[in-house]
Every structure is written in C-alpha cells, then in structure tokens.
Amino acid sequence: MGNNSFYKMPEIEMSAESALRIAQLGLFATFAYFALAEEEPDFMGALVFSLLGLGTFLSVRFVREILSFGIPAVIVIFSILDGDLGFLVWAFITTIIIAGVCYLPDMATGVKISWMDEDTSRRAIGPMWILFAIAAIFMFTVGDVMEQGGDQLTQGEGEDMITVTLDSTQMNMVYAGTTMGVLGIVAFLFTASLELSIGPIRPWHAGVMASGGGWIGIAMVNTIEEFTFDIGDSLFMLCLSGILTLVPWLAYKTSNT
C-alpha cells in the first residue's frame, strides 16, 4: 500500500513490532469482551470496539482521532446528563489510556501521524508514555480504592453489587503496586526523558516495573474471596503490559539492548 492508502496491513512476524501490534489489538478485544460480559450484554458496544480496534490495527485514517476524542466526549456528555460529575475523572483517565493505545505503537514503530511531523512524534513518546503509565497505575492500583473511601472495593452493579473492606495485607498490596509503578515512571524519566544512566537499567525495564505494579493490583483483587474472578482484567493487563514494555524497547533501542 502507498503512503496515501486508506489503510495499511501490518506484517505479522516473530518480532517486537508485531507483538506490540497484537497487544494493541488485544486491548480493543478486551473492551469488546467487557461489553459482552455485562449483566445485559452490550452487543452494539462490542461491535463498535471490535471495528475501531480493527481500524486501529490496520491504521485506517481518522480512527485514532475518533477513539481518542470521540469516545471520551461521549462519556463526558453522559456523565453530565446523569449528574455524575465524579465520573469525569474516569473520562480523563480513559482519554489517556485510549490515546496511548492508539498512538504509542505507531510512534514507537515509526508510522507517520497525520497531524504530527516525525521529529515531534519522536519527542512526544516520552511524555505520552509517562501519562499512559500514570493512568494505567491509577486504574489498576489506587483508583477504585480512592474513589470508594480509601479502604473499600466494589464489584458488580445494582442488586448484585458486592462491597468489601480491604484488610491490612490487601492494602499493603495496593501500596506496593502503586510504589512499584511510580518507581517505574521515575526510572523512565531518568533513562529515557533525561537520558541519564542508572546502572544497567534501560527504559524498557521501567515498563516492566510499571506493568508489575498493575499486576500486583490484579493479584490483590484475586485475594478477595467474595469477588468473582474475571479473566478480562488479566487479559487487559497483559496487553497493557505489552504496550508499557515494548514501546520503550523499540523507541529507545540501543546497540547493547
């Protein structure tokens, strides 16, 4: 396909680039799964996420813009109409997550962004990765706990909602996951953004640390006996880990990586 083609078919092979593309597609697949896993399955939502995910995977024009700004705008509108302005925080987090999923793989693999030149795209990887990591850590560690009073979590909706108070071990897991994630962001800031040396640590190690913080959050939720295990959360975190780790691997790759 030429540079002006409507879409671009990515090559799938045993490489970090292909693994990153699959992780990107996998995140949209989990969005579709979450829509179908609700008490009343949202088939339309699943179809929309499937088509948008496929459009992103194929680099279809304007799909990234629709995802990055259109879906968060819809969330904001419905939050205002429902009078739940507190949900605007999650709309902001969702915007960062979706924008990162849409743009970071393209930036790291050298795919041209229509409204950004190559040099700007290269410089934007670091700040966007940091925002993406902060949003991911917030979502999988302290986000829900902070929203529900600092030591509680809920699962389900309506009559099926279950609320539990976290014990000291579970709270320590929340703190540990958050700390590991923050350390990963700091490591990335020094090794990638500031280009300072911290022994053998490379930017992709920061991605592993940030991902590890999210996995500790997943593990904490799975220790709650009252909660039902949801494979979707683990699949989502697996794909998220791929983006957090492979983007700095590709974007800041050196001869001794």
How distant, in Å, are the alpha carbons of 29, 74, 75 from that of 70?
A: 19, 6, 9
Instruction: Give pairs for 120-126: CB < 8 Å, separation 24+.
Output: 122/251, 125/247, 125/251, 126/188, 126/192, 126/193
Please report whether residue 42 resides in a domain. yes
Please report whether residue 3 resides in a domain. no
Q: How many domains does the chain have?
A: 1
Please report whether residue 257 resides in a domain. no
Please report whether residue 66 resides in a domain. yes
CA atoms within 13 A on the CB side of 1: 12
Please report whether residue 10 resides in a domain. no
What residues contact residue 115 under an 8 Å CB cut-off, 6+ apart?
none
In the chain, which ranges are continuous DSSP H helix?
16-36, 43-57, 63-65, 71-82, 88-109, 118-137, 143-147, 168-188, 203-222, 231-251
Q: Which of 148, 137, 178, 162 is nearest to 86 (CA)?
A: 148
The pLDDT value recorded for residue 2 is 44
At which residue do the structure tokens 């970090």 appear? 16
The pLDDT value recorded for residue 6 is 61
The pLDDT value recorded for residue 187 is 94
How distant, in Å, are the alpha carbons of 161, 166, 169, 229 from that of 226?
A: 11, 11, 16, 10
Tokens representing residue 123 in the block: 């410089």
The pLDDT value recorded for residue 108 is 87
The pLDDT value recorded for residue 243 is 94
User: What does the pLDDT profile of the chain (257 residues) look like in tens digits?
Assistant: 445 566 667 777 888 888 998 999 998 899 889 888 877 788 887 888 888 888 888 877 777 777 767 776 776 777 677 666 666 777 778 788 888 888 898 888 877 776 777 788 788 899 999 999 998 888 777 666 666 666 777 776 666 677 788 888 888 888 898 899 999 999 999 998 888 878 888 999 999 999 998 898 888 888 887 777 778 888 988 999 999 999 999 998 764 55
The pLDDT value recorded for residue 57 is 82
Q: Which of 190, 239, 178 is nearest to 214 (CA)?
A: 178
What's the residue count for the chain?
Answer: 257
Please report whether residue 256 resides in a domain. no
What residues contact residue 95 under an 8 Å CB cut-off, 6+ apart?
68, 69, 72
Q: Is 155 helix (H, G, I), strand (E, B) or coil?
A: strand
Per the CB < 8 A criterion, the answer to whether 65 and 98 are in contact is: no
Please report whether residue 2 resides in a domain. no
Please report whether residue 31 resides in a domain. yes
Domain that residue 127 falls in: 16-251
